[in-house]
Amino acid sequence: GWARAQTGLNGLGPPQATSHFYTVKNRLTGKVALITGGARGIGAATAKLFAGNGAHVVIADILDELGTTLADSIGGRYVHCDVAKEADMESAVQLALMWKGHLDILFNNAGIGGPTGSITNLKMDHMTALLAINMNGIVHGIKHAARAMIKGGKGGSIICTSSSAAIMGGLASHAYTLSKEAVLGIARSSACELGIHGIRVNCVSPHGVPTEMLVSAYQTFLGKMDLSPEEVSKTVGKKGSLLRGRSGSVEDVAHAALFLASDDAGFITAHNLVVDGGYTSGCSQMS
Ligand code: NAD
């Protein structure tokens, strides 16, 4: 807590990756949370943190084995859900409702990276396929969670995963950048409509978290297929963070999502919480 924060501020050591991960408790007692892309990476860390804070978690993903194992380990439920398919998303929301009778939180987080390359050679079918997941998937989530939350009459919190790539060009493929900007847009416009129902809609925008998605993007980009997560983390720390070489962690993003999901953020909506070690605001200092 505060003592740890002061240690960092006093310069007694480099800022540490979040180490108080499981000491934050009971922020979500009794709430039902649906997490798309929850089988691994940022979504999985968030599933664990939400469950540790008393939430009943439904993991929706296409990685059935990983998702089921994780759901079992946190007393949650797993549902196979390809977010690009509206019917799958509708069923995932229904599962949450059938399980506990209400849905309070959606972490709308599933996403994929896309092939990089020149705009002059952009393959429209690649772009359409990416948008089906990263953009349509987010819309499906907001639509069906909002229906359930409006019906429930007790408000709710929807958090969508955008990206630093929505803010800065040239970080990822054109299609990915477009999709993540679209996430900010639909979150903002939904927040305007849903506020009257006590439903908050916000985004988190991570940067440079060495998950499987980022590691494989670096591997392809650099043509080094044996690049390790540690090497990616080091590279990101050097070039993609103002915090003395530290890259982001899945826990950093999970904590941001926890805050937005909880009543602590009760007056925060239509916001984009950037979790980037300062990268998108201060990158000129990094050259
Ligand atoms: P990840 O690849 O580890 O996790 C993504 C999860 O989404 C996986 O479990 C995957 O199976 C799931 N998924 C993919 N397609 C799906 C589909 N059609 N339906 C349902 N689930 C699907 O990567 P991650 O880094 O944890 O990514 C999570 C989110 O964070 C993504 O939206 C990503 O764009 C975003 N993001 C990540 C970073 C980063 O640095 N890692 C930065 C900015 C934004």
pLDDT in tens, 3-32: 344 343 434 444 555 555 656 679 999 999
CA quadruple 126, 132, 137, 142: dihedral sign: positive
Does the structure show a pLDDT above 70 at 280?
yes
- The answer to whether residue 2 scores a pLDDT higher than 70 is no
Residue 214 CA to ligand 1 center (angstroms) comes to 9
Between CA 242 and CA 61 the distance in angstroms is 33
Residue 265 carries which side chain, given as an amino acid letter?
Answer: A
CA pair distance 29, 198, nearest whole angstrom: 18
Ligand 1: which of 66, 211, 236 to mutate, most ligand atoms within 8 Å of CB? 211
- Beta carbon of 277 within 6 Å of any ligand 1 atom: no
| 112 class by beta-carbon count within 10 Å (0-12 exposed, 13-18 middle, 19+ buried) | middle
Is residue 82 lining ligand 1, measured as CB closer than 6 Å? yes
Please tell me whether the overall predicted TM-score, pTM, comes out greater than 0.90 for this model. Answer: yes
* 155 Rama class: left (phi>0) / alpha (psi -120 to 50) / beta: left
Measured between alpha carbons, how far is 115 from 109 in angstroms, rounded to an integer? 20
Ligand 1 atom closest to the Cα of residue 110 is: 7
- What local confidence, expressed as pLDDT, does residue 21 receive? 60
Question: Can you read off the two tokens belonging to residue 70?
Answer: 């994780």
Q: What is the pLDDT of residue 245?
A: 83
Enumerate the H helices of 101-172 as residue ranges.
Answer: 124-134, 136-152
Q: CA angle at residue 85 from 122 to 73, to 5 degrees?
A: 110
Ligand 1 mean position, distance from CA 44 (Å): 10
DSSP-assigned letters across all residues of 206-271:
E----SHHHHHHHHHHHT-TT--HHHHHHHHHHHS-SSTTPPP-HHHHHHHHHHHHSGGGTT--S-
**Cβ neighbours of 7 (radius 10 Å):** 13
Nearest CA among 201, 255, 222 for reference residue 17: 255
Q: Give 32-54 pLDDT, tens digit per residue.
A: 999 999 999 999 999 999 999 99
Backbone phi and psi for residue 62, each to the nearest 5 degrees, phi listed first:
-110, -5
Q: Tokens representing 254? A: 């999970």
Dist CA 200 CA 110 (whole Å): 19
Active site residues: 176
Contact by Cβ (8 Å): 273, 202: yes
Chain segment 93-121, per-residue pLDDT in tens: 999 999 999 999 999 999 999 878 899 99
Q: Report pLDDT for 79.
A: 98
CA triple 46-67-70, angle to 5 deg: 60
Ligand 1 pocket member 207 (CB < 6 A): yes
* pLDDT range class, residue 1, cuts 50, 70, 90: very low
251 in contact with ligand 1, CB cutoff 6 A: no
Q: Tokens for 11?
A: 């310069």
Say if residues 277 and 246 touch (Cβ distance below 8 Å).
Answer: yes
